[in-house]
Amino acid sequence: MSQPKIIRRPDGTILIERFSPFRRVEHLLVIAGFTLLVLTGFPQKFYEASWAASVLQFFGGLDRARTLHRVVGIIFSVQAVIHIAIIAVGILSSKMRLTLLPTSQDFRDVFATLSYYFGYTKEHPRYPKFDYRQKFEYLGMVLGGLVMVFSGLALLYPGFITSFLPGQIIPAARLAHSNEALLAFCVLVVWHVYGSHLSPEVFPMDKSMFTGYLTLDYLKEHHNLEYRRLFPKEAAADDAAKAATGKEH
Amino acid sequence: MTRNLYTIPRTIEILCFAAGMSCAFITFPEKAGAEQPKAATEATEACLECHAEKGESITFADKTSKSVQVDRKSWLSSVHGGKLACTDCHREISGYPHRKVKFQDAREYTLARGNTCQRCHYAQYTRALDSTHYEILKAGVREAPICVDCHGAHAIQNPKTPRLSINEKCATCHGSITDEFKLSVHGKALLQNNPDAPACTDCHGAHAIPSPSGAEFRLNSYKLCAECHSNEEKMKKYGLNTDVLVTYLDDFHGASNRLYALGAGRPEKPIATCNDCHGVHNIQSFKDKDPKMAREKVVKSCQKCHLGVTPAFADAWLSHYPPSLKTAPLVWAIKVAYTILIPLIMVGLVLHILLHLWRLRSHR
């Protein structure tokens, strides 16, 4: 099992690595790719809108925007293949901890969190390295990405696809590509922007995706199970102290 | 020379005009304006005194000659008859004998007087200057039509009736296309005087006729078809599908075409539009045809641009009907799934966020 890097600074703060440099580069590539794909794709989806033609003109017309969309799409697809291949190798060599894989605990966490929000329970549930909200977003990204990659390929090579599949695949791929894009965009704007920027817990920005590190305090507060896994002694001491103060009252 | 201006016919004309005007003022002073045409008629009579006679002709510099006879009856029954005087258009003529002018031939005279109609029909004249006809005229094609070539000179009738006469005018030059059109579904209906059937000008315009081989015309041509074919009231009469426009635009070709038409650059390759599958002047109805045969035509239409594709490729085109469970179950299912999924997920996520904020507000 891999252990994350832990940096102890001279001033006493402890930083725990959350994202390896490779993951940080992956995220930067996704930002660039997603932005370009949305900018060149949405005007094609919303062809009725008045802004559609102006945005396409910015890219030098519909034909150039399409070429760019395809090139970026292929880069995005290659990235997706590499991402999944690394996971596959990680599973086969059992060297990877699947911290983003949803478990039954995540479903229980959903209900525990909601009942905490409604005030039925006093204790906030403790989350692992990635909470269910983050797992939902990641899984949506990967599964949605796969939908986009396969429907995109069908739209890029319709002649080849229909040489062995029925013709209905093409309009189906077109609908899936266009709707999945809209869904991904909406989730990004609402869920990701809230979770990583607007939420009072992280406002104005959760920088760990760019710096790669979380502080010990943040880890303890928001990903308590991971904190307990990495710092079992400190966690036990915390619990003992808490129990003591509980008795005093 | 000055004496020439007051020739006998001119004097008669002036006298008649004066008589007419005073008559009008004395008897029906309030209808003075309405009586004016009468004066025009009388002024015209003065010209017709000579020009109604047979045998009068003028000779041009190239020794060709042309009769200058005007048929009184057809002039009077024309739209201008009784309303305009000869000199309203023939402004260069103000007396007899007429001032001599030199023209190479009759066409040169016609072209030189080409802007005559502009004085009253300014809008139509100006639109015609934008037309492909004027463009080729400028390029030196003397046969390119100007006003009188389509409307006539002295026997001008309402150009809109009968509608079939519009096509006859175009047929003067565009004979083979007009013949082809007569055999089409639209042409047959027009021959039966169907007011819904398009005449040439309904698609091409009457005055500002753009070049149909230009990119602009091609990109916007689907709108011409859509004007009638998405009109529910009109299509109901013939049991025709009005989803044709929406289904075209919802498809790859239509969406692209519309974006190009809105100014998103120029297409590198031509994008299929209505006439690429349905034909242009030779459009036939598919209504009573065997659906299998129609499908074969779709395959052939696809193969025009997409070389060597299979019939399965052509099945990607779901015809001009929205996907249904019966016709395209996979497409339908995806459409329905996302229509439910997107709002469901988004509402769930927004509620979760609002709950989180509410909890933070009320418990901290």
Alpha-carbon distance values, B142 to B107, B109, B145 (Å): 8, 11, 8
**Using CB atoms, which residue from A60, A64, A183 is nearest to B341?**
A183
**Using CB atoms, which residue from A47, A179, A190 is nearest to B349?**
A190
Domain ranges (residues) in chain B: 1-119, 212-322, 324-358
Read out DSSP for B201-255? HHHH-SSS---TTSHHHHHHHHHHHHHHHT-HHHHHTTT--STHHHHHHHSHHHH
**Using CB atoms, which residue from B262, B308, B349 is nearest to A191?**
B349
Mutant choice from B219, B253, B271, B315 vs A, greatest count of A C-beta within 10 A: B315
In terms of C-beta density within 10 A (0-12 exposed, 13-18 middle, 19 or more buried), how is residue B187 classed? buried
In the structure encoding, which two tokens stand for residue B270, read together?
A: 């031509």
Helix (H, G, I), strand (E, B) or coil at B337: helix
Query: In this structure, which amino acid lies at residue B46?
Result: A
From chain B, the residues in CB contact with A170 under 8 A are 313, 316
Query: B349 with A140: CB under 8 angstroms?
Result: no
Query: In this structure, which amino acid lies at residue B75?
Result: W
Tokens 């395209």 correspond to: B328
From chain A, the residues in CB contact with B267 under 8 A are 62-63
The pLDDT of residue B23 is 45
Q: Please name the residues between 261 and 300 in chain B that touch chain A, using a CB distance below 8 Å.
A: 262-268
Between A225 and B18, the higher pLDDT residue? A225
pLDDT tens-place string over residues A63-99: 999 999 999 999 999 999 999 999 999 999 988 889 9
Cβ distance of A179 and B334 shorter than 8 Å: yes
In the structure encoding, which two tokens stand for residue A19, read together?
A: 């994202």
Min distance A107 CA to chain B CA atoms (Å): 14
Query: A129 with A43: CB under 8 angstroms?
Result: no
The pLDDT of residue B57 is 87
Cβ distance of B356 and A61 shorter than 8 Å: no
The CA distance from A209 to A141, in Å, is: 15
The CA distance from B289 to B333, in Å, is: 30
Alpha helix positions (H), B119-171: 122-129, 132-138, 147-151, 164-171
Min distance B335 CA to chain A CA atoms (Å): 7
Whole-number mean pLDDT of chain A?
93
The CA distance from B362 to B358, in Å, is: 6
Cβ distance of B331 and A199 shorter than 8 Å: no
Residues A17, A146, A105, CA angle at the centre, nearest 5°?
50
**Using CB atoms, which residue from A57, A114, A168 is nearest to B264?**
A57
Long-range Cβ pairs for the range A58-63 (8 Å, 24+): A60/B265, A61/B264, A61/B265, A61/B266, A62/B256, A62/B259, A62/B260, A62/B264, A62/B265, A62/B267, A63/B265, A63/B267, A63/B268
Helix (H, G, I), strand (E, B) or coil at B59: strand
The pLDDT of residue B286 is 81
Min distance A196 CA to chain B CA atoms (Å): 12
The pLDDT of residue B340 is 98
Query: A105 with A164: CB under 8 angstroms?
Result: no
Residues B312, B246, B345, CA angle at the centre, nearest 5°?
85
Min distance B130 CA to chain A CA atoms (Å): 26
Strand partners for B58: B66
In the structure encoding, which two tokens stand for residue B178, read together?
A: 């007009």
> Tens-of-pLDDT digits for all 364 residues of chain B?
344 444 555 555 555 555 555 544 444 444 444 455 677 777 788 888 889 888 888 899 999 999 999 998 999 899 998 889 899 999 888 888 888 888 999 999 999 999 999 999 999 999 999 999 999 999 999 999 999 999 999 999 998 888 889 999 999 999 999 999 999 999 999 999 999 999 999 999 999 999 999 888 999 999 999 999 999 999 999 999 999 999 999 999 999 999 999 988 889 888 999 999 999 999 998 877 888 888 899 999 999 999 989 999 999 999 999 999 999 999 999 999 999 999 999 999 999 999 999 998 887 5
Query: A231 with A222: CB under 8 angstroms?
Result: no
Hey, how many other C-beta atoms are within 10 angstroms of the C-beta on B304? Answer: 10
Tokens 């490779």 correspond to: A22
Cβ distance of B328 and A118 shorter than 8 Å: no
Chain A contact present for B130, CB below 8 A: no
Min distance B290 CA to chain A CA atoms (Å): 21
Cβ distance of B312 and A175 shorter than 8 Å: no
Hey, how many other C-beta atoms are within 10 angstroms of the C-beta on B69? Answer: 16
Chain B residue whose CA is closest to A111? B352
pLDDT tens-place string over residues A182-217: 999 999 999 999 999 999 988 899 999 999 999 999
Cβ distance of A170 and B316 shorter than 8 Å: yes
From chain B, the residues in CB contact with A180 under 8 A are 338
Tokens 């049991």 correspond to: B239
Cβ distance of B313 and A167 shorter than 8 Å: yes
Mutant choice from B326, B353, B362 vs A, greatest count of A C-beta within 10 A: B353
**Using CB atoms, which residue from A155, A183, A190 is nearest to B350?**
A190
Tokens 């023939």 correspond to: B90
**Residue in A50, A13, A3, A18 with CA at minimum distance from that of residue A208:** A18
Q: What average pLDDT score do residues A10-26 get?
A: 94
Min distance A53 CA to chain B CA atoms (Å): 5
